[in-house]
Structure 1
Amino acid sequence: MGAHWEAMGDRIEVAMNPNPGKNPVAYVAKEKYEKFKLTADLPMGNRVIGMLRDSGLDAHPNPDFDFIHDTYLVLIRMFPKQKTNIPVVIVSANARMDPHLHTRIGAVIRPLRYEDVLIIGSGGAVHNLYRNNWMQMVLWRDNLAMPFAPQDCMLEFRQAVYDAFTMNRGPAVRRAVTRLMKHPLFRQAHGTDEHFIPACYVAGAAGDKEDKEMDNVFLGECWELVNMANSQFQLGSWE
């Protein structure tokens, strides 16, 4: 689940385009991604639709969806020596941005984790475009420049995200992550909801009672445009 695709009403959509294209990325040269071939896993997509429908969710295929940068730029970095990715299924968010609904979506597809399926939520710990510093990007294409420190409110909310994932296990992860949307600094850290919703999705997939003994670890992060934090967490392991 990425951060830029929402279905209207009560719908959840699953990408079922057999030959998906790529939406362009602002400020990124096309030669960095245009030759990378995308592989949509249509059989698994049908299975995911069935799982969602069986749980009572209003799931539908989308045969025209083109991949967005929140998905394919991640895949390019995951498979730097390949010219294509492993088969991928993309599940949309729902435009109501209900954290509990998206936690439920993750919980429904949780069994796939036991079949060597990696579940990814691609969003952002702190992502408010209105609070970003754009000067270095516009003038020099340097999104990682840090001419000054992030605002205190951004640092504080980023810490709350870190604590929610690393200091909780099992169902407590679901409660902690969904509760962050009521954090007093949430709206300052997220001008809109869509970049946070994938965190609820992965909390649902890794927040069952059976996950209480599982390690949830922080792997790394970068800050972009001064005030935007990209934090990476791993919930569970392949062992």
Structure 2
Amino acid sequence: MNTRMPTIFLGHGNPMNALHVNAWTQGWAALGQRLPQRPRAVLAVSAHWYLPGTAVTAMAAPRTIHDFGGFPRELFEVQYPAPGDPSLVRRVRELLQPLDVRADLAWGLDHGTWSVLRHVFPAADVPVVQLSIDETQPPAFHYELGRRLRPLRNEDVLLLGSGNVVHNLHAYAWGRHPVEPFDWAQRFEATARELMLRGDHPALVDYEALGPDAELAIPTPEHYLPLLYVIGASEPGEPVTFPVEGMDGGSISMLSVQFG
């Protein structure tokens, strides 16, 4: 009998983490090494595929997307040539019925996915499929999709969310030396951690009701919503751990969350 895969949310932060060796990237690498078994595929939900509708990457060889600007040439030269997985595409569409899930042949793997996976699976030899985030739907919709995708964990598929629990670029200390985290960022991250440990999923879904700290921590939802897929895919009473921690630029949480 196969061991159930954990489901993991990674705070990906600055795209330059794709090139850096630091406490965060070393933590991602350690996560890959500690998995109970090698996954047959990864289903990734990235903050950076945020559009109307739900889609999955359905190509045999998804391209590496450099969806950013103003970074060194070296970062644009990174390739992550993981194959796709047609059987996983079919299974995702089946699990999410009757939702119309479009088979996409144009997108690929954006930096929310490859910047972390190149540390988790550096050989790029585990097939990867990306699932888009429907920007027209409320948080409860995304949590429910995660719940419906939960069976994949018993099918050797690693369900991976990539975003940031706290993500406020307006307050980010660009190009400066390390700075102390903002009080509101620390408070919201601590609140989210406590709610996950308590299993209070409704409060995490209805995050806008958590007050002014939530408004500052999540000014736009796309980096938070991947967490809801992972929470939805968790099992009741399952162990919750935080294998990677820290705050970047004062306003970006690098927290990783693992269920199972």
Tell me the TM-score normalised to structure 1 length. Answer: 0.82
Residue correspondence of structure 1 range 88-237 to structure 2 within 5 A: 88-136=128-176, 145-146=177-178, 148-168=179-199, 172=200, 174-184=201-211, 185-206=213-234, 211-236=235-260
CA distance in 1, matches of 2:250, 2:125: 31
Name the structure where strand makes up a greater proportion of residues: 2
Tell me: CA distance 1:60–1:216, structure 2 relative to 1, closer, same or farther (3 Å). same
Cross-structure match for 2:34: none
CA distance in 2, matches of 1:88, 1:69: 13
- Pair 1:7–1:131, CA change in 2 (3 A): same
Q: Secondary structure at the match of 2:82?
A: coil
Matched-pair contact (CA < 8 Å) for 1:39–1:87? yes
Does structure 2 retain, via aligned residues, the 8 Å contact 1:2–1:122? Answer: yes
Equivalent-residue separation in structure 2 for 1:17 and 1:161 (angstroms): 36
Q: Is the 8 A contact 2:185 2:217 kept in 1?
A: yes
Give the TM-score normalised by structure 2: 0.76
Percent identity of paired positions between Structure 1 and Structure 2: 27
The answer on whether the counterparts of 1:126 and 1:154 sit within 8 Å (CA) in structure 2 is yes
- CA distance in 2 between partners of 1:33 and 1:42 (Å): 27
- 1-structure distance, mates of 2:219, 2:245: 20
Work out whether 1:76 is the aligned partner of 2:76.
no
Counterpart CA distance in 1 for 2:159 and 2:91 is: 15
In structure 2, what is the Cα distance between the partners aligned to 1:131 and 1:31?
Answer: 24
Deviation at 1:31, TM superposition (A): 5.7
Count of residues in correspondence between the two structures = 213
2:49 is aligned with 1:5: yes
| Unmatched 5+ stretches in structure 2 | 1-44
Moved more, 113-122 or 22-31: 22-31
Q: Where do residues 8-19 of structure 1 align in structure 2 (5 Å cutoff)?
A: 8=52, 11-19=53-61
- The aligned residue for residue 80 of structure 2 is 36
Deviation at residue 191 of structure 1 after TM alignment: 2.2
Cα distance in 1 between the residues matched to 2:173 and 2:184? 15
Quote the Cα distance in structure 2 between the aligned partners of 1:68 and 1:198: 14
Where relative contact order (Cα < 8 A, 6+ residues apart) is larger, the structure is 2
Letter in 2 for 1:126: V
1:199 Cα deviation after fit: 0.9
